């Protein structure tokens, strides 16, 4: 087998394409491998080596501290260079020199400093540039060094989104003697696709905005436009003046060895702290959580979280607050924050709280002794939670009357309440059976995690889980689509453990990996669903996906470009190339990590009992 071929007739990795072809089918395999690898036939892109990048960064740091570009030595760069200067979390100056050569570093520094000077509040008097030198220690420097420009053949500019590895490769355009380049870090920060960058470069270099919508063939034939790709070595300071780190797709690759017991505890605490600290605690703020956060700009897409986001955050923080292994101060903070979230949820009112949010609050009340005790003395919260119960009851009655399905999250809430109300159990059981039957094996994953948690709630204290077959089948189907090292290779190690949902538009893993995996973490610790002979294999699969979720989370390296680092650290990004922080992504990941730790403890205890 020759492997998946790129449009320029060079092969993608044959071993990856064989495995993905067997798993996903040839068409999806072709798209996925090209997305993963950006069509790169080799990990060697010709970009400067790590040692060369460190030397260039050191020269740039010295030149910035002296505020004199001329002291930088000549370095014959093979491709584009970009330098970004940040001050107090904001971009002070950024420049791109699209063509390499011995003068590229000095040229980039000269433009960088000119732009910075125009934004600094200093006058060029007799003391110049001493005022600037006094604050250079507060500046962060990021450097991207590109490899040689490699011709890029495109039928449509939109094809660049599949051809270019997001966050790893840059793109360039040449029109006559003019060359422009788009760097991968800027694409990550702005959330733009390579195709849009190419359109912008064509318009900018030609001076004609209309050319940005012309087909590549016409641009080549009538205007002499040429398209290129290039690999990049990215090195940046995570703190002003700190030793720089190498970044891969805007962050550091998480190793499997970083997922030991204590590492997972720290991960859970980071997630919880993000949920509690993502929004400033100002007096009179009714919503303590906030909606989706854009960390680069440090702004919320919506100042207010949705009712469902509030409820999911409370559900997740309750998990951590009731766990003995976590830091006492973090647990206490989580308990306090759960109450604040409940107050915020109740303030929205019964009429504005949709069924999904009402179901989460109802299920949380039924499943958590801590939460039940917390709200017992608050008449307002009691009334709100009774209203949430009524929403779930009404949904069940309507579904029974119409012969329709009940939402999985509502089934979970009803199943939790059935622990104390036996009359509910057979009704929920029938609805769960209908959900599995009408959804079918191919789409059963869409019912997770809620239908799975409903099965466990109904099976508590019983010898078997009635939905075991459906749950095992769903788990098997998800693991078939989990990426491992053989799929990603050296070119995309950060994607390992992610799950590809083939029904989606994007054939790359995103935060939605957590939706089924959060239940598999619960499943791992239940001997009825994970036997002794399966435990090691299933634990490794769950931990692989937890590794991917850790990769999505913001750590010091990933926060280097964020406006308010303390707000974003610990949050889970929508994707490795999408920096947005949805509170529900962080909340579901927190539940997954807490349940993974609980399940691993159960497996260890079972092993000790057998050994004894």
For 337-349, the pLDDT digits (tens) are 999 999 999 998 7
Q: What is the pLDDT of residue 39?
A: 39
Residue-level pLDDT at 506: 58
Domain-located, residue 445 = yes
In three-state secondary structure terms, 579 is strand
Is there a single domain that holds both residue 451 and residue 566? yes
What is the maximum alpha-carbon separation in the chain?
Answer: 87
Please give the residue range of the domain that contains residue 17. 1-43
d(CA 216, CA 608): 65
Q: Does one domain contain both 374 and 415?
A: yes
Q: Could you tell me if residue 585 is left (phi over 0), alpha (psi between -120 and 50 degrees) or otherwise beta?
A: alpha
> Which stretches of 115-224 are assigned E, i.e. beta strand?
139-146, 150-151, 169-175, 178-182
Same domain, 95 and 1: no
Number of domains forming the structure of the chain: 3
Give the predicted TM-score (pTM) of the model. 0.89
Task: From 247, 278, 306, give the residue that closes a domain.
Answer: 247
Distance CA(98)–CA(96), nearest Å, equals 6
Same domain, 1 and 29: yes
Q: Residue 372 domain-assigned? A: yes
Residues of the chain with pLDDT under 50: 1-42, 283
Helix pair angle (104-119, 50-66), 10° resolution:
40
Q: What is the CATH number of the domain that holds 71?
A: 3.30.1490.150
For residues 152 and 160, is the Cβ–Cβ distance under 8 A? yes
Is there a single domain that holds both residue 389 and residue 476?
A: yes
* pLDDT given for residue 505 in this prediction: 54
- Do 557 and 519 have their domain in common? yes
The count of C-alpha atoms lying within 13 angstroms of the C-alpha of 505, restricted to the half-sphere facing its C-beta, is 1
The pLDDT of residue 160: 86
Instruction: Look at residues 206, 223, 247 and tell me which one is the last residue of a structural domain.
Output: 247
Res 327: pLDDT: 97
467, two tokens: 């939905």
Q: Are residues 224 and 286 in the same domain?
A: no
CATH number at 325 reads 1.50.10.20
Pick from 199, 215, 247: which residue ends a domain? 247
Residue 265 maps to a domain: yes
What are the phi and psi torsion angles at 300 (to 5°)? Answer: -95, 140
Same domain, 468 and 499: yes
Please spell the DSSP secondary structure of 143-211, one letter per residue: EEEE---EE---SSGGGHHHHS-TTTEEEEEEETTEEEEE-HHHHHHHT--HHHHHHHHHHHHHT-GGG
- Whether residue 452 is contained in a domain is answered as yes
pLDDT the model gives residue 502? 66
177 in the same domain as 309? no
Closest CA to 428 of 419, 438, 437, 415: 415
Please tell me the predicted confidence (pLDDT) of residue 10: 35
- Asked if residue 169 lies in contact with residue 184, where contact means CB atoms within 8 angstroms, the answer is yes
């Amino acid at each position: 087998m020759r492997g998946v071929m790129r449009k320029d007739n060079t092969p993608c990795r044959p071993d990856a394409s064989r495995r993905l072809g067997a798993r996903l089918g040839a068409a999806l395999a072709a798209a996925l491998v090209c997305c993963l690898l950006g069509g790169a036939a080799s990990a060697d892109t010709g970009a400067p080596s790590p040692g060369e990048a460190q030397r260039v960064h050191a020269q740039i740091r010295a030149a910035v501290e002296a505020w004199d570009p001329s002291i930088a030595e000549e370095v014959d760069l093979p491709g584009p260079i970009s330098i970004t200067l940040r001050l107090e979390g904001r971009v002070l100056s950024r420049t791109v020199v699209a063509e390499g050569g011995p003068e590229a570093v000095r040229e980039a520094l000269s433009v960088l400093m000119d732009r910075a000077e125009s934004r600094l509040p200093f006058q060029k008097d007799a003391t110049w540039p001493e005022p600037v030198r006094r604050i250079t220690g507060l500046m962060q420097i990021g450097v991207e060094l590109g490899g040689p420009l490699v011709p890029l053949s495109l039928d449509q500019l939109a094809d660049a989104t599949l051809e270019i590895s997001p966050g790893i490769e840059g793109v360039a355009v040449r029109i006559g003697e003019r060359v422009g380049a788009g760097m991968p870090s800027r694409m990550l920060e702005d959330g733009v696709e390579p195709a849009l960058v190419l359109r912008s470069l064509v318009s900018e270099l030609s001076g004609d905005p209309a050319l940005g919508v012309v087909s590549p063939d016409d641009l080549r034939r009538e205007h002499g436009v040429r398209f290129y790709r290039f690999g990049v070595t990215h090195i940046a300071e995570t703190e002003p003046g700190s030793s720089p780190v190498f970044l891969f797709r805007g962050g550091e690759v998480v190793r499997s060895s970083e997922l030991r017991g204590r590492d997972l505890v720290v991960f859970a605490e980071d997630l919880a702290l993000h949920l509690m600290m993502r929004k400033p605690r100002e007096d009179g703020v009714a919503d303590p959580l906030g909606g989706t956060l854009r960390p680069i700009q440090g702004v919320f897409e919506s100042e207010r979280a949705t009712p469902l986001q509030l409820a999911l955050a409370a559900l997740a923080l309750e998990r951590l607050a009731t766990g003995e292994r976590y830091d006492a101060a973090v647990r206490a903070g989580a308990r306090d924050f759960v109450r604040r979230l409940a107050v915020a949820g109740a303030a929205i009112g019964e009429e504005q709280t949709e069924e999904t949010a009402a179901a989460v609050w109802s299920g949380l009340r039924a499943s958590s002794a801590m939460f039940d005790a917390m709200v017992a003395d608050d008449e307002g919260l009691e009334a709100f939670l009774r209203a949430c119960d009524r929403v779930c009851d009404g949904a069940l009655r309507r579904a029974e009357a119409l012969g329709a399905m009940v939402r999985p999250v509502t089934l979970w809430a009803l199943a939790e309440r059935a622990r104390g109300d036996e009359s509910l159990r057979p009704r929920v059981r029938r609805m769960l059976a209908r959900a599995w039957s009408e959804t079918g094996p191919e789409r059963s994953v869409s019912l997770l995690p809620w239908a799975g948690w409903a099965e466990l709630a109904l099976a508590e204290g019983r010898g078997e889980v009635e939905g075991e077959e459906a749950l095992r089948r769903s788990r098997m189907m998800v693991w078939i689509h989990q990426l491992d090292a053989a799929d990603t290779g050296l070119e995309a190690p950060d994607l390992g453990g992610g799950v590809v949902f083939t029904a989606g538009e994007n054939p790359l893993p995103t935060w939605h990996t957590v939706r089924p995996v959060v239940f598999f973490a619960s499943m791992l610790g239940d001997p009825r669903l994970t036997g002794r002979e399966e435990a090691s294999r299933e634990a490794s699969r769950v931990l692989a996906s937890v590794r991917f979720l850790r990769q999505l989370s913001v750590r010091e390296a990933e926060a280097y470009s964020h406006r308010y680092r303390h707000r974003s650290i610990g949050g889970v990004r929508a994707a490795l190339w999408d920096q947005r922080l949805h509170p529900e992504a962080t909340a579901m990941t927190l539940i997954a990590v807490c349940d993974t730790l609980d399940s691993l403890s159960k497996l260890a205890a079972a092993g000790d009992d057998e050994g004894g």
